[in-house]
Amino acid sequence: MFKKVFPLSAILSLRFLGLFLVLPVVSIYAATMTDNMMLVGIVVGGYALTQAIFQIPFGVMSDKIGRKPTLLVGLLIFLIGSLISAYATDIYTLMFGRFLQGAGAIGAVVTAMISDLVEEKVRAKAMAIMGATIAISFALAMGLGPVIGAHYGVASLFIITAVLAMLAIVLLFTKVPTPPKIKHIYHSEAKTIDIIREPNLLNMIIINAMQKGLMTVAFVLIPIILTSDTFGWEKKELYIAYLPAMILGLIAMGPAAVFGEKKNKPREIFLLSIVLFIAAFLIMGLTTSSTVFVVGVSMFFIAFNMMEPLVQSMITKFSKVHQKGAALGISNSAAYFMTFLGGTLAGLMLDISDRETIGVSVAVIATLWLLWTLKLQNPTKYSHLFIAPELVNNDKLLNLENEHIAEWYINETENLIVIKYATLAISEEDLIAKIEK
């Protein structure tokens, strides 16, 4: 399993490392090109707008033409956007480069490919590996980004991002296995609209969107507030706030993933994380102590990292096999739209308001999110039956209807019929008896 997952996780992590390297300092960098803080916010979250636009097309395209070709296209677009951002001399060129970076929307494709390659019974571990590599990238970026940016300029961070995209392309064609070809057979045609009609999937889409939206709000506010007259930090000192916060977030991610996945209690983890988000923004908005402010930053990253490995896993659990790419595309599209909106609104509010008002306002919004999330249900535990086609009665299989059977499909590459069923409601022996010759 590790050999299948790690190369894909590395590709996604290299891409995120490039994005994360810039995040701690890009708002300060953009502010040197304009006095309009809303434009600064758009630069911070601009990549997310095009991510929102292209997530669904990339996800659907990967379902139709294959994951690898789609990943290549996305990485090339991301590389070009990084180079344009590196050589930008005005705010609008920088903004265009950031938009282009986001147009390489491969996040949903990578996650869907992992779910193609890994059985659901070990998918939680696979998603945890992916989440851990992204979190490590996050931690490295928070420490390295401010230091490299201060010594060599923020433009150098975009050059590094382009190089990381090249490395990801090399990994794609040297280490990533080709996923199995799957044939989908259903009694009625599945529609994309069914994804958002499913209550648990809709809840996960909202959770993913809010988490990412608050991330951009934080990355607009944290560096600008710390380097303002209130605290007077130097840009090169920002790692003092980011690095310990990310280390604590990385430590918190492990127990959260275990409790959420193995104990099947993701709802409780999500609720706890939202409470931490509320506290973090209240602290960052109201405190006059830089030490207490850093505590708020740490609480934010703990909450973010507790959620991160669970969100994608839950979406793949609640969606059917032929909808994974589209479901992840819709979820990530909503998340990236909120990322863009969060950055833009944070910049706008800095123009017209103060940090106290911003902190309280975000905390109120997060409280409403908490109340909504109370409706989320923990997922049903499913297992998979893998059986050779020659052992199955096709008529019985085609008429297989049971409330405890989520779906079935044919893995043509491995010549297997796969049936997803509720472990606690029906036994494997009873299931085989329903379809065997």
129-164 confidence digits (pLDDT tens):
776 787 678 777 877 888 898 888 889 999 999 999
Whether residue 11 contacts residue 71, with contact meaning beta carbons closer than 8 Å, is answered with: yes
Reading the block at residue 385, the tokens are 């039956």
- Most confident range, picked from 93-102, 320-329, 418-427: 93-102
Whether residue 55 contacts residue 337, with contact meaning beta carbons closer than 8 Å, is answered with: no
Mean local confidence (pLDDT), 6-15: 85
Same fold, 2-373 and 382-435: no
Tokens 């890994």 locate to: 118
Distance, first Cα to last Cα, the chain: 32
Q: Is a pLDDT exceeding 80 seen at residue 183?
A: no
224-250 confidence digits (pLDDT tens):
999 988 899 987 788 888 888 888 988
Q: Is a pLDDT exceeding 80 seen at residue 314?
A: yes
User: pLDDT above 90 covers what percent of the chain?
Assistant: 32
Of the candidates 247, 238, 245, 364, the one whose C-alpha atom is nearest the C-alpha of residue 299 is 245
Q: For domain 382-435, say whether CATH 3.30.70 is its number.
A: yes
Mean pLDDT over each residue of the chain, to the nearest integer: 84
Phi, psi of 431, deg, nearest 5: -65, -45
Alpha helix positions (H), 258-289: 266-286
Higher per-residue confidence, 55 vs 365: 365
Q: In one letter, which amino acid is 38?
A: M
Q: Residue 361: pLDDT band by 50, 70, 90 thresholds?
A: very high
- The whole-number pLDDT of residue 92 equals 95
- The whole-number pLDDT of residue 1 equals 63
CA gap 42, 40 in Å, rounded: 5
pTM of the prediction? 0.74
The domain ranges of the chain are 2-373, 382-435
16-60 confidence digits (pLDDT tens):
888 888 988 898 889 889 989 889 989 988 888 887 788 778 877
> 241 CB contacts (<8 Å, ≥6 apart)?
222, 226, 233, 293, 294, 297
Q: Which CATH number fits domain 2-373: 3.40.640.10, 1.20.1250.20, 3.40.190.170, 1.20.58.220?
A: 1.20.1250.20
Comparing 87-91, 326-330, 351-355, the range with the smallest average pLDDT is 326-330
